[in-house]
A and B are shown apart, each in its own frame.
Chain A
Amino acid sequence: MIKYTIKRLAQSLVTVAIVATIVFLLMRMLPTDYFFTEDQLMKLTPEQKTEQLEAAGLLDPMGEQLLRFYGQTIRLDFGQSRRIQSGVPVIRVIGDKFGISLRLGCIALIISLIVGVVLGIIQTLNKDHILDHVGTAYTIFVNAVPSLVSYSLVLVFGSKVLGLPPIYSTRNPGPSSIIPIACLTLASIASYALWTRRYMVDELNKDYIKLARIKGMSSKTIMVKHVFKNAFVPLVQYIPASFLYTISGSLLAERFFSVPGMGPLLTDAITRYDTNVVQTLSIIYASLGIIGVFLGDVLMMLVDPRIKLAGKGGTR
């Protein structure tokens, strides 16, 4: 296990370095006009533009810029934001948003997991009956309807009928989080229900279940001890990553409800040519992805001891 962890860690570092380098180079390949706002493009003289680019170090040779970037990253110096919050250290910009996305995302994930899995179980227990059809209809509806439409429906219901705040407010974070969290759970509930049902139905059709039934094992025991436990193994793999991804926030929901979280940060930073923020977020997201997969593997192994990560031919 230790050997496996060290190997995965080394691979992860290389992967993150490659991702960071690619993002760095892609940002530098953009025309420098993106450095300026349309207003600045209009009113600054070419000399003034050059001076600003020089001051930002963007006219230095690419190799020199890249080495400087590596050096700073190794020292965990991610620089300052240029546009999102001008002059403020990137870590502080991200830190301010991190907690909000994490809080909303984790609440949404816990709700989704509980409701989604329970819904999946109910559908399985009532396969081809009305409750199963209702669950399937919900899943199809959520996946077929564009998110903004379903968000709007939740918004109208929440604000007009229940009287909840229509957007997130720092003065009233509890009640104003309800509608965004509800929207965040919509698709996740459908997803967990869909996969729980699918894996459980698969298990129910397997021979060992039929044998258990013939041997007289009760349906309840079969469902709890065998079907659910085995069906849950593939789902477990994705839970750590899902938790970690809550940090990155939801672009659509956070933008729609003015949640000051991480969701819109990357796209905002790219459109505003805030290179330090883009690079830092890329490193964070790449790391989260890698850690998420690794933890998923470990969790899967813990749930199902038959799975070995480091054995011969067993590594993923």
Chain B
Amino acid sequence: MKKAKKLAAVLLTAALAMGTLAGGGMVSSAEELNELWTFETSNRELENLIILNTEMANDLNVLCNTTEGLLETDSKGQLIPGIASEWGTEDGGLTWTFKLREGVKWVDWQGNEKGDVTAQDWITALEWVMNAKKNGANNTSMPTTLIAGAGDYYNYTKDLSDEEAYALDKTKFLEMVGIEAPDDYTLIYHCVSNAPYFDTVATSACLYPMAQGFIDEVGVENVLSTGIEGLWYNGPYTLTEFVQGNTKTLTKNPLYWDTEAKLFDNVVIRIIEDTTRGYELYDAGELDHTDLSEATLRQIYDDEGHKYHDQLVEKMPRKYSYQMKFNYSKMKDDGTPDDNWNKAVANENFRKSIYYGLNLVPYLARTNFINPLHCENNAYTMKGLLYFSDGTEYTARVAEKLGLPESDGENPRRYDPDLAAECKAKAMEELEAQGVTFPIQIDYYIIAGAQNALDSATVLKQIFEEGLGSDYVTLNIDTYVSSQTQEVIDPQLQSFVINGWGADYGDIQNYLGQETLGEDTAYYSMNYTNINDATDETLLATWQEYTDMVNAANAIVDDLDARYDAYADAEAYMLEHAMTIPMSLEVAWQLTKVNDYTRSNAMYGIQNYMYKNWDTSVDAYTTEQYAEFAEEYNK
């Protein structure tokens, strides 16, 4: 078993954490916050209290504090023990064993003990998730794909009446599904096929526990409508106040298993209209951190005498990698194929001219005008998702394979106007021979009435025309009224969309698998790029080559470094052929009393808002302090 490797990782992480704590003493304030006052905007209010029943970030950001799963993620995004103290696989990811720690308790909202947390709670929970009538198909996709028999059990329950499905105990479930608990503190999952990344799924809501005692107490039919007073909690906090549209209060769980953890006495989450109100509340001392609108940020940044000027700090990137995704089977408004565009985008030199010819700095400055290149994205996979065993970050390996030059601090690394001009000349020659007319019309859709989106689109239009020439392309800014999916994507009207993907689990497959050819599970191919409808043979051959490379990487299950390296080859191939174009990362600015570099920071899972082991200061951190944190973190 690879438990030794895991144990070593755990010890190393602990040692690093201790070192960081010791080293961080130079810049940490002596006095930390006992109570954290934070916020969400009104469109991100908590909607669902049952963690197994929701897949929405606004719910999970709260609920990851009230229910705890098998594993946690640390500030570097590495898996660390949670309720499972050890875990591993001996057969390349086909069978996974988790050893649970004893003495973990379920409590009620006031912290009174309700029962022990045992392996049976994960069996109860998975039965709940995969029971179509109990959980309404929420959170089923990953278990269906990964756990043997899970999909079959779902289909079995789907055909039962509500009463029959509610009455099911776990007998049938355990017969059909690959999960077992040989004793109260050992949990075993059997996967459909080798899944060397399965442990990362343990940080997703679908593999969180639920106590049978809780279900029995409230009744099966009342589980989803249970209020905060009726829930059972095993996480670091209980939810002691929930006033929809105004306030949620998380209160430290007195029986939480990790007695060494640094927790707040209370975390108060306030609902605000927008970030402007957040700044007002921060200024009034009613929040401990705030995001900043562009106007507020400019106001503070441009005024060196402003009281917050020296407290402006850059946030860490959000976990979404934004890409420009071409539509390879575009339609016109009248429903007929847009042959001019479809021929153009099938031409590799045309795509490469865009890949090399766009100087995206003004576009990146829309997100971060102070350090636009901090938003630069040169990979398809999100930076920081995975690391090789020698510590090399995965997207750095991709950049190496692409041969990207080091940043000059002014221009994007892949920006190469000479190469773009060369590709443009070739593309024009090749496309003219196919009857394509210039300038090629590029249709880019934004939501109507959104000034911010319009400003960004206008900047992008300028970048296209300055970088590629108005004789070559024209970017048309079109609008949809309310639903991009229904009004633009379904009728295939867009030339491209810019879309961000955040990982569901910790494997590159979750990114690259969305772009493969001829596979139903490839979300972007099926919905956005429409590559399966393309007819150009050269284009399809390129895509097939990429798909084969991804599948070859998928097949490597016993050597993670080799697996990641094979994915890096596939990703580099994708980008070299400009099949999709990396656009940006989200790196914004804030005022804060929280050291973000101590927060859980996984590119997958649900735990980034787990208020555990956060370093804070009663005085706002300064720009200088944050620079030191960043330097220490990135060592």
Contacts and interface: CB of A to CB of B under 8 A. Distances in A.
B246 A166 contact: no
Interface in B479-528: 483-486, 504, 520, 523, 527
A85 B47 contact: yes
A276 interface: no
Interface in A111-142: none
Given A41-B485, A255-B42, A166 B244 contact: no
Interface in B94-152: 132-133, 136-138, 140-141
With most chain B CB atoms within 10 A of its CB, the pick from A93, A96, A166, A254 is A166
A34 B485 CA distance: 10
Given A48-B140, A166-B286, A258 B42 contact: yes
Given A167-B272, A258-B272, A33 B246 contact: no
A75 interface: no
B55 A39 contact: yes
Given A43-B523, A167-B270, A85 B137 contact: no
A77 B406 CA distance: 65
A42 interface: yes
B50 A87 contact: yes
B245 A48 contact: no
A48 B137 contact: yes
A86 B54 contact: yes
A79 to B, nearest CB: 11
B244 A85 contact: yes
A219 interface: no
B483 A34 contact: yes
Given A83-B47, A86-B47, A52 B137 contact: yes
B224 A258 contact: no
A96 B228 CA distance: 14
A69 interface: no
A103 interface: no
B42 A264 contact: yes
B585 to A, nearest CB: 19
A55 B157 CA distance: 12
A165 interface: yes
Contact of A88 (B225, B271, B286): B225
A51 B137 CA distance: 7
Interface string B211-229: 0000000000001111100
A52 B132 CA distance: 9
A83 B223 CA distance: 16
B47 to A, nearest CB: 5
Nearest to A38: B485
B11 to A, nearest CB: 36
B429 interface: no
With most chain B CB atoms within 10 A of its CB, the pick from A34, A80, A258, A261 is A258
A192 B553 CA distance: 74
Contacts of B56: 37, 39
A41 B528 CA distance: 12
B158 interface: yes
Contacts of A33: 483, 485-486
Given A170-B241, A255-B42, A51 B53 contact: no
B273 interface: yes
Nearest to B58: A37
A196 to B, nearest CB: 34
A45 B527 CA distance: 11
A165 to B, nearest CB: 7
A164 B311 CA distance: 25
A258 B245 contact: yes
Contacts of B607: none
B280 A159 contact: yes
B225 A258 contact: no
Contacts of B48: 85-87
Contacts of A41: 485
B76 interface: no
Interface string B54-73: 11110000000000000000
B34 to A, nearest CB: 16
A125 B61 CA distance: 60
B281 interface: yes
Interface in B199-258: 223-227, 241, 243-247
Contacts of B286: 165-167
A84 B47 contact: yes
Nearest to A148: B273
A24 interface: no
A258 B243 CA distance: 11
Nearest to A254: B245
A89 interface: yes
B17 to A, nearest CB: 32
B529 to A, nearest CB: 14
B22 interface: no
Contacts of A169: 246-247, 270
B273 A44 contact: no
Nearest to A52: B137
B26 interface: no
B225 A87 contact: yes
B284 interface: yes
A266 to B, nearest CB: 13
B137 A31 contact: no
A88 B247 contact: no
A59 B56 CA distance: 24
Nearest to B489: A41
B327 to A, nearest CB: 16
B31 to A, nearest CB: 23
Contact of B273 (A86, A170, A255, A272): A255
A34 B243 CA distance: 26
B413 interface: no
B277 interface: yes
Contacts of A264: 42, 245
Nearest to B276: A152
A118 B243 CA distance: 37
Contact of B243 (A43, A167, A260): A260
Interface string B256-297: 000000000000001111000100110010100000000000
A64 B42 CA distance: 35
Contact of A167 (B223, B241, B281): B281
Nearest to A171: B247
With most chain B CB atoms within 10 A of its CB, the pick from A97, A159, A260 is A260
B141 A43 contact: yes
A45 B141 contact: yes
A83 B227 CA distance: 15
A263 B389 CA distance: 54
Contact of B136 (A39, A42, A55, A272): A55
Interface string A150-175: 00000100010000011111110000
Given A45-B141, A166-B281, A167-B277, A89 B246 contact: no
A43 B55 CA distance: 10
B225 A40 contact: no
A231 interface: no
A166 B158 CA distance: 50
Query: Lowest 9 CB-CB distances: which A-B pairs, in order?
Result: A87-B224, A260-B246, A86-B48, A260-B245, A87-B225, A51-B137, A55-B136, A260-B243, A170-B243
Given A38-B484, A80-B224, A159-B284, 7 more contacts: A43-B523, A45-B141, A51-B136, A84-B244, A159-B280, A170-B241, A260-B271
13 contacts: A38-B484, A39-B55, A40-B55, A43-B55, A43-B141, A43-B523, A52-B137, A87-B50, A87-B224, A96-B244, A167-B270, A258-B272, A264-B42
